Structure 1
């Protein structure tokens, strides 16, 4: 007796009939289409076993239904773009949605690399340095007067040169005696520490931090022998080519402050009138 060969679903005999295997089980065409065929996005009808099933992002179309939403031209084997669930040929998409290059004014086609800056778009080959005319690509650039410059060209054309290292100053910087410096180049002539943001003074057009200036040039207090900077409101007393901090100008014997008082001298000592009355 001949073994039966039936549809896995409806159990009708498949001898002499067209059938389709699904996971090693045979189905008649009708059952297969009812059970497994995808529904076309365009016409909403099943995509039969004898039709080509075109798919995009889990959506399916008959070959004849796979066309541009706007111009209705077939998209089979052609590039296309999607917008709000609709498929569009590249021409329709470009005319409707693509941005225009700020340089050549032509459409930037879908899939084409482009550059964007402050709401404007460029073809990658059109986004060039105004000075050297070379594509900027992913390199850093600096805008100036509605033009874009690569960093080397900007530095050559516009940037100030540091007085110390002679290189361009692109950000920040310090102005001293109407000349530009990098912050890291504006240092104390003595100890080479950066002076930017610090108190400093100068001598013979050279800048010094307060510590170096005092150690090198300030007179020493006749009382404590520490330098008297005279900067920042420091008060001091001068007498016969000698100087004292206000706090150090005291009677040699009784240590009474002599600031604003009369005093006497004995050799190099300064005395209050009381201590010096027997001189």
Structure 2
């Protein structure tokens, strides 16, 4: 029968445990420079883009109704467009920057202002830290950078972390499951991981949750108590000499 040394107590620090934030937005108050926009093909949506910001105006035929134009506040007589919950003369629904007509092409709304995809991509859309492409859909904000949802991946399983909690190890993000399987410590009592924020004990050469370090016979907590051990199992003073263990 051996008398065990005092258990060393601690608490797993929460540093390294993160939760990314997400949103569907551009750069907010970023200014749009004046000048011509280079002519180039329309950007094609990434096949994995989610919740894209790009919208299309709806064409309404003449005679359906006579609404007011959101741009000039005049009655529209004839065909018109519906976009952003408002009605527009076809010739007055244009990109705020380059003035290109948005009647038949995709557009993006930013703080009440509309832009063609070219201008939004050039001047407002954030850049993905992984692929360096512009983000025209949901944005993941993590590690002081912006990412496509499908580009912010666990370093091990390569699956998108999305808005789930992740851990950082040597600058690389890991989902919780892979982090604990690779770097985590399991409690010798319950065999579950000792997670960030958990109180733990170091005793008998193992790590224990503070509430898992109990007498193997009566389950009395041994935290802060003198204990004995038999076959690597902790015992209280009362059961130190028990025969069945």
In the other structure, the counterpart of 1:275 is: none
In the other structure, the counterpart of 1:244 is: none
Output the CA distance in 1 between the equivalents of 2:161 and 2:69. 48
Output the CA distance in 2 between the equivalents of 1:70 and 1:132. 43
Q: Which structure: larger Rg?
A: 1
In the other structure, the counterpart of 2:171 is: 146
How far residue 139 of structure 1 moved from its aligned partner, in angstroms, is: 4.2
How far residue 69 of structure 1 moved from its aligned partner, in angstroms, is: 0.9
Within the candidate set 152, 156, 160, 1:127 is matched to: 152
In the other structure, the counterpart of 1:74 is: 101
Over 3 Å counting, the alpha-carbon distance change for 1:174 and 1:91 in structure 2 is farther
In the other structure, the counterpart of 1:46 is: 74
Return the structure number with greater helix share: 1
How far residue 21 of structure 1 moved from its aligned partner, in angstroms, is: 10
In the other structure, the counterpart of 2:228 is: 203
Output the CA distance in 2 between the equivalents of 1:54 and 1:142. 48
Q: Contact conserved, 1:47 with 1:53, CA < 8 A, in 2?
A: no
Structure 1 spans left out of the alignment, 5+ residues: 1-19, 23-35, 218-279
Structure 2 spans left out of the alignment, 5+ residues: 1-62
In the other structure, the counterpart of 1:163 is: 188
Within the candidate set 87, 92, 111, 1:65 is matched to: 92
Output the CA distance in 1 between the equivalents of 2:188 and 2:229. 17
Alignment RMSD (CA, Å):
3.0
The answer to which structure, 1 or 2, has the higher relative contact order (CA under 8 A, 6+ apart) is: 2
User: Could you give the per-residue CA deviations for residues 169-201 of structure 1, whole angstroms, max 9, x where no partner exists?
Assistant: 223232224531133431123311343xx4311
Q: Contact conserved, 2:229 with 2:240, CA < 8 A, in 1?
A: no
Over 3 Å counting, the alpha-carbon distance change for 1:207 and 1:139 in structure 2 is same
In the other structure, the counterpart of 2:110 is: 83
- TM-score w.r.t. structure 1 length? 0.53
Output the CA distance in 2 between the equivalents of 1:165 and 1:38. 69
Output the CA distance in 1 between the equivalents of 2:182 and 2:146. 25
Within the candidate set 130, 133, 136, 2:161 is matched to: 136
SS in structure 2 at match of 1:200: coil
SS in structure 2 at match of 1:82: strand
Over 3 Å counting, the alpha-carbon distance change for 1:57 and 1:128 in structure 2 is closer
In the other structure, the counterpart of 2:201 is: 174
- TM-score w.r.t. structure 2 length? 0.60
In the other structure, the counterpart of 2:19 is: none
